Amino acid sequence: MQGLTPTESISFILVFLEGILSFFSPCVIPLIPIYISYLAGNAKQVAEDGTITFHRKKVFFHTLFFVLGISFAFFILGMSFTALGTFFQSNQLLFTRIGGILILILGLYQVGLLDIKFLQRERKFQIPLGDREANPLLAFAMGFTFSFAWTPCVGPALSSVLILASGTGSSLTGNLLVLVYSLGFVIPFLLLGLFTTQVLNFLNVHKKFLKYTVKAGGILLILIGIMTFTGWMNGVTKYLSKFTPPALTREEENLPPEESDTASESDSAENSEAKEEPVKTPAFDFTLTDQFGNEHTLSDYKGKVVFLNFWATWCPPCQMEMPDIEEIYQEFDKNEGDIVILGISNPSSAEYPDNADKSKEEVLAYLEDNKYTFPIVFDETGEVLQDYFISAFPTSFFIDKEGNFFGYATGLMTKSQIYQALEQALAATEQPSE
């Protein structure tokens, strides 16, 4: 179905490319000299002619554990269906703040405002570096810890991958999806591990220039640390998401709808024969109040197909989509039949100034001015947006009659596309299991 992202049509190439692009975020690049110098650690070798090299196998071994720590963190974030994943997701704010404090301390030290002996053994990337000891366990812990600090910066890409993983038809496919993203993200680190000698010698030759870039990088680290700890980085991510094009949802764009639907049905038939019954992922439950004061609990709608639409008043694609959603709401008996239409707004307030939309009063005025009557529930704390890993608007979810994720789409959907998705979700749960 065009525009919808079911598990059978995931583009692993796009996920891999997202991982590579995530490496170039502002939370990662400024710390590269620190990573390299620490991981090189005690691998320094000085030849008889004074040439400095680093034992490639040893550095690569440490780098391998560093990227394993990164990958482990990403896998935990993607394991929403396990107790371990639930623990780390529910405490993600704590880990993010710990990462923010760590980045802030490194930034203060890098600009010369802190003088800590422990950091002196780990931070300096100028030669000599041989007095520091690196080991696989610390490299793993370093990669794991920094992953949570990076999350606000790589959030738009990572969150889209995580929600794909949580909505996939099987745990194997979900884990493979996270693995592909992790590979894209860590390959640049592995390349740095292979060419450590060249990179560090380059840094040593350009020490005069780096004296200034180190200070500038330190200032940037301080800003990133403060923004990560306070949550301000989420506001930046929200702003950038306005300009983020839809991703991972247009794989079938060049196919006619009939051909796409036929391919999906064929793939589904083959998969049902080749695989055991897929693991279904329950949608995250919530209880929120709409613009009319009515309370909606998602789990109360079991037995119906639910269309969830995350939107914002400032979002042009949302503005184009809303009239179609209103028409669908009217045509499907105003949620009295087998289809339930729910919009979700995340209004800002004095308590939550970094939420995604304008104030609740302004959202209500927008709905009234445009005569939208389908239920819009208000996620005033942002917890539901966090549960669903929302990083761009509009984002739509289709939930089957059993309360499980059926599919999702980021970006504008036409009325016919929404209809097709709803029909597929209805048909999926009406078909008897064999």
Total domains in the fold of the chain = 2
Residue-wise over 223-261: b if at least 16 C-beta within 10 A, else e?
Answer: bbbbbbbebbbbbbbbeebeebebbbbbbbeeeeeeebb
Report if residue 236 sits inside a domain: yes
Closest Cα to residue 325, out of 384, 425, 394, 253? 394
How far apart CA 395 and CA 399 sit, in angstroms, is 13
Same domain assignment for residues 167 and 70: yes
Report if residue 141 sits inside a domain: yes
Report if residue 272 sits inside a domain: no
Same domain assignment for residues 205 and 318: no
Same domain assignment for residues 106 and 211: yes
Same domain assignment for residues 101 and 156: yes
Same domain assignment for residues 88 and 212: yes
Same domain assignment for residues 226 and 287: no
Same domain assignment for residues 80 and 175: yes
Query: Omega into 6 within 30° of 0, i.e. cis?
Result: no
Report if residue 267 sits inside a domain: no
Report if residue 246 sits inside a domain: no
* Domain containing residue 12: 7-241
Dig out the tokens for 252 from the structure: 């079938």
Domain boundary among 182, 208, 241: 241
Report if residue 328 sits inside a domain: yes
How far apart CA 199 and CA 186 sit, in angstroms, is 17
How far apart CA 53 and CA 32 sit, in angstroms, is 18
Domain boundary among 187, 213, 241: 241
Same domain assignment for residues 71 and 188: yes
Q: What is the pLDDT along the chain (434 residues), one digit of tens a residue?
A: 444 444 344 456 767 877 787 777 656 666 666 666 666 665 556 566 655 566 677 777 878 888 888 888 777 765 544 444 455 555 555 666 666 676 677 667 666 776 655 444 433 333 333 444 567 787 888 788 767 656 555 555 555 565 555 544 456 666 777 788 788 888 888 887 777 667 666 656 655 655 565 566 567 667 766 765 665 544 444 444 433 333 333 333 333 444 444 444 445 444 444 444 556 788 999 999 999 999 999 999 999 999 999 999 998 889 999 999 999 999 999 999 999 999 999 999 999 988 989 999 999 999 999 999 999 999 999 999 988 888 778 889 999 999 998 888 878 888 988 998 899 888 887 654 44
Same domain assignment for residues 223 and 322: no
Closest Cα to residue 52, out of 211, 198, 208, 207? 198
Same domain assignment for residues 35 and 153: yes
Report if residue 252 sits inside a domain: no
Host H or E run for residue 407: strand 405-410
Phi, psi for residue 408 in degrees, rounded to 5 = -155, 160
CATH code, 306: 3.40.30.10
What pLDDT is stored for residue 281 in this prediction?
Answer: 83
Same domain assignment for residues 213 and 293: no
Report if residue 253 sits inside a domain: no
pTM of the model: 0.47
Dig out the tokens for 112 from the structure: 């010369």
Same domain assignment for residues 177 and 319: no
Estimate to the nearest angstrom the gap between the alpha carbon of 58 and the chain centroid.
Answer: 32
337: DSSP letter: S
